[in-house]
Amino acid sequence: MFYNVYVMFSRGYLGEFEHVVLLALLRLEDRAYGVTVRREIQARTNREVSIGAVYATLDRLQAKGYVKSFRGEPTAERGGRSKRFFRITASGVTAVNRTQQALQRMTEGLEVVRSYS
């Protein structure tokens, strides 16, 4: 079991929520910041997500080099606070593809998956 966990991390596979967050960044392109990422995930997965969980995941992805962030201009509706925009990096896209392919291989030919989809 520990070996499997080690292999997953060493080959850059993503955790479930990391995967979802990176897909949200891909969908939002240059409009991705805390509010839009949270709303996108909530709208598409029908799952209430806390802003703290989104930021913790984005921070972790940034530490892994899958995401980069930059500050926008401060706005009045945010009490003069600036937005922190996020963008997926090339290695982030690679990690998403790798995880997608692994999931696809795992679900290939499974009747139970077909009956649920």
Q: Site for other proteins (CB under 8 A): which residue of 51, 68, 100, 113?
A: 51
Q: Give the distance from CA 65 to its chain's centroid.
A: 13
* Nearest-angstrom CA–CA distance, 81 and 84: 10
Interface stretch with other proteins, choices 2-10, 20-28, 74-82, 100-108 (CB under 8 A): 74-82
Q: Which of residues 79-98 bind other proteins (CB under 8 A)?
A: 79, 81-84
59 makes contact with other proteins (CB under 8 A): yes
| Pairing mode, strands 67-75 and 81-88 | antiparallel
* Nearest-angstrom CA–CA distance, 70 and 89: 13
Smallest distance from the beta carbon of 35 to other proteins, in angstroms?
5
53 makes contact with other proteins (CB under 8 A): yes
Closest CB to other proteins among 82 and 107? 82
DSSP structural state of residue 13: P
